[in-house]
Amino acid sequence: MLVLLQKVGKVWDKVEMAVGGLFLTLAVFIVAIEIIGRNLFEYSMIGADEIASFAVIWSVFFTASIGVKRNIHVRIDVLFYLVPPRIARAIDMLGTAISIFFTGYLTYSGWALMQESIMFGEVTMTMLRLPLWIPQAILPIGGFLLSVRLAQRLYYLLTTDASPITLPESESGLGANANTEPKQT
C-alpha cells in the first residue's frame, strides 16, 4: 500500500507542476502576444488581460500545495531555532492544524461562491463575459489541494520525530522531495 501511495504521490507532484506551469506559460504567452500586437500592429485582443490574470491565479492556487509539501512557505523559521526542539515541533503542529482549518474553510467557501455564481448566472464585467464560476473554481480546488498536503504534513509531524525545518525524501510515504534546512555559512 505504501509503495502505491508513493507512486501516486510522485505522479500527482508532476501533475501539479505541469498544470501550474501550463497556466503560467499561457499567461506569459498571452501577455507577450498582447504586447507585440499593441506595439507593432496597434491591435489588442479582447479579454487578453482578463484571461492572463485568471491563468496566473490558477497557476498560483494550483501549485501552492507544492510549497507545503516542500516546506518552503513563508513562516517565521527563526522561532524554531530559539525554542527547544520539542516546543518547535508543537508550534509547527499547531500552525499546520490551524492552516488545515483555514484551507478547509477556503475549500468550503470557494465551493459555495462558485455554486452561487452558477445559480445566478454571473459573468465577468468585461467584454469577454466569461462565466464567473470558471475562474472561481480554483478556490475550492486549490483549497482542497492545500488541505491534503497540510494533512500529510500534520500526519508526518505526528508520526515522526522530525524537525519542523526539514522533511525527508519519503515524507508521509508520498514521495516528498524536500530538504529545506538552511545551509550553514
- pLDDT for the residue numbered 51: 93
Q: At what angle do helices 138-159 and 48-69 cross, to 10 degrees?
A: 10
Question: Count of residues for the chain?
Answer: 185
- pLDDT for the residue numbered 111: 97
The distance in angstroms from the start CA to the end CA of the chain is 41
CB 169 within 8 A of CB 176: yes
- CA 82 and chain centroid, separation: 29
Q: At what angle do helices 85-120 and 138-159 cross, to 10 degrees?
A: 160
CB 166 within 8 A of CB 181: yes
**Per-residue confidence in pLDDT tens, the chain, 185 aa:** 667 777 887 888 889 989 999 999 999 999 999 999 999 898 888 888 999 999 999 999 989 988 888 888 777 777 778 888 888 888 889 999 999 999 999 999 999 999 999 999 999 988 889 999 999 999 999 999 999 999 988 988 888 887 776 654 444 444 444 444 444 44
Q: What's the Rg (C-alpha) of the chain?
A: 20
Q: What is the 3-state secondary structure (H, E, C) of 45-66?
A: CCCHHHHHHHHHHHHHHHHHHH
Tell me how many degrees the CA angle 38-39-43 measures, rounded to the nearest 5: 25
